[in-house]
């Protein structure tokens, strides 16, 4: 019995070594491409917000590194008084508007006409508080005391229910790191937000962004993070099971992925000391 156990260990070790050396490509089925709509309207505080961009792509195979662009669409956004046209930069799948007018609390409707079908979405532009200037740095943060910990603050509005999206981008991480939260536990408070990373070095510039988002987008984004399997880089793959607020009014079966979001955004850059 002992000899059998020894042989079994050797056999398993050999199998594990062989698997580590061999790259296996599975022959996966590729579904029909679906439209992916990146329609995030961001109004950064203290800027006009007149230039906005909407991107159209399609889903693609698992092993493909790039998403095919979509050209030839007609895209307009309307509010209660005006229509904003998004014109494609030819051959890029990027549709630009240079006269957009952001108004807090205003409701906007997105209409995309493509290949004889019409996609619609409606959303409200949400406000956001400012990030306070007193960002704090602790070089012995984390459980092991070996992480750089940043703490920034914002003042929640006590007169309304609010939802927020946090984005932190540092030069040591490929993708921005995101977190969605609401104010159920800190209504009207000065709210601290903590960010930790052990690879940050003196001189690194960390970009912090705070977005005001709707309750509907808050729920969507949390599902998106769950579907992506991680809290960082949620747009690195297409989370096929998560549907946004954009509907195909012509052919419901040919639905699109993506979300029409409008946010006021506050931005702070912090240089690591």
Each residue of 158-201: pLDDT tens digit?
999 999 999 999 999 999 999 999 999 999 999 999 999 999 99
Contact at 8 Å (CB) between 259 and 235?
A: no
Beginning with the edge strand found earlier in the chain, give each strand of the sheet holding 147-155 in spatial order: 136-141, 147-155, 190-197
Tell me which residue of 75, 74, 33 sits closest to 52, measured CA to CA.
75
The alpha carbons of the chain give a radius of gyration, in whole angstroms, of 23
pLDDT level of residue 30 (50, 70, 90 thresholds): low
Residues 216-238 have pLDDT tens digits of: 999 999 988 887 765 444 444 44
Residue-wise pLDDT for 195-214, tens only, equals: 999 999 999 999 999 999 99
Do 87 and 95 touch, CB atoms closer than 8 A?
yes
CATH topology of domain 35-127+233-265: Immunoglobulin-like (2.60.40)
pLDDT on residue 6: 38
Looking at residue 13, what is its pLDDT?
42
Q: Where are the domains of the chain?
A: 35-127+233-265, 136-214
| 241-270: pLDDT as tens digits | 688 999 999 999 999 999 999 999 999 999
Q: Is the pLDDT of residue 113 over 90?
A: yes
C-alpha 182/C-alpha 157 separation (Å) is 12
Nearest-angstrom CA–CA distance, 262 and 240: 22
Cα distance between residue 166 and residue 272, in whole Å:
19
Predicted TM-score (pTM) of the model is: 0.83
């Amino acid at each position: 019995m002992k000899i059998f156990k020894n042989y079994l260990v050797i056999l398993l070790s050999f199998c594990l070594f062989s698997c580590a050396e061999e790259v296996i490509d599975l022959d996966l089925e590729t579904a029909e491409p679906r439209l992916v709509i990146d329609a995030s309207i961001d109004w950064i505080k203290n800027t006009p917000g007149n230039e906005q961009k909407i991107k159209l792509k399609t889903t693609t195979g698992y092993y493909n590194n790039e998403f095919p662009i979509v050209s030839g669409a007609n895209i307009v956004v309307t509010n209660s008084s005006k229509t904003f046209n998004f014109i494609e930069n030819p051959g890029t799948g990027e549709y630009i508007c240079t006269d957009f007018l952001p108004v807090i609390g205003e409701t906007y409707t997105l209409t995309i006409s493509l290949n004889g079908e019409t996609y619609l979405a409606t959303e409200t532009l949400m406000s956001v508080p400012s990030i306070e200037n007193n960002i704090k740095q602790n070089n012995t943060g984390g459980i092991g005391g070996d992480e750089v910990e940043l703490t920034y603050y914002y003042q929640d509005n006590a007169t309304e229910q609010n939802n927020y999206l946090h984005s932190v981008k540092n030069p040591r991480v490929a993708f921005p790191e995101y977190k969605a939260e609401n104010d159920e536990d800190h209504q009207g408070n000065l709210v601290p937000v903590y960010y930790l990373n052990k690879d940050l070095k003196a001189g690194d510039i960390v970009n912090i962004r705070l977005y005001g988002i709707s309750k509907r987008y808050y729920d969507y984004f949390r599902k998106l993070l769950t579907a992506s399997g991680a809290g960082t880089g949620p747009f690195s793959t297409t989370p096929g099971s998560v549907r946004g607020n954009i509907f195909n009014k012509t052919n419901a079966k040919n639905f699109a992925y993506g979300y029409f979001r409008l946010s006021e955004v506050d931005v702070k850059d912090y240089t690591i000391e």
